[in-house]
Amino acid sequence: MNLALFLFVGGILHFGILLASAAAPQVLDWRNALQKLDRLSQQVIWVHGAFIVLTIVGFGALSICFPSELASHTILARAVCGFIALFWAARLAVQFFVFDAKPYLTRPMLRLGYHGLTLVFIYHAVVYGAAAL
């Protein structure tokens, strides 16, 4: 097993998540939904979203630029991979136990995207978890 290759693929998948997530504001009709909130709450949601995007970009960039270093089993590599694994494991928990996406999965492509993202989240949790151990 070439852990560095799995981490490199994980990096590419991080950017795939961002591409898929770009559809979320339109699919969830954020423009209308957020208008019901006060201006500060709208701003907080957009800023939190931007920081999540920045975090995922960072995960992807580290994984594409430094896959061998992340697979090196140094303390720092294990800590970074452990954090990334924890991030995606927590995201999976939210996917399974908090979100109710069924009302929005009205078209086959949306269902495929949702389940595809779930598989990518699992991949990340497993691969980065293995690198952390």
What is the per-residue pLDDT for 1?
Answer: 72
The string of DSSP letters for 19-43 reads HHHTTHHHHTTHHHHHHTS-HHHHH
**Cβ atoms of residues 111 and 105 within 8 Å:** yes
Domains of the chain, by residue range, sit at: 3-132
What is the per-residue pLDDT for 25?
Answer: 86
**Cβ atoms of residues 128 and 84 within 8 Å:** yes
Q: pLDDT per position in the chain (133 positions), as tens?
A: 799 999 999 999 999 999 988 888 888 888 899 999 999 999 999 999 999 999 999 999 999 999 999 999 999 999 999 999 999 999 999 999 999 989 888 899 889 999 999 999 999 999 999 999 9
What is the per-residue pLDDT for 24?
Answer: 85
**Cβ atoms of residues 87 and 129 within 8 Å:** no
pTM of the complete model: 0.90
Max CA distance (Å), the chain: 51
What is the per-residue pLDDT for 74?
Answer: 98
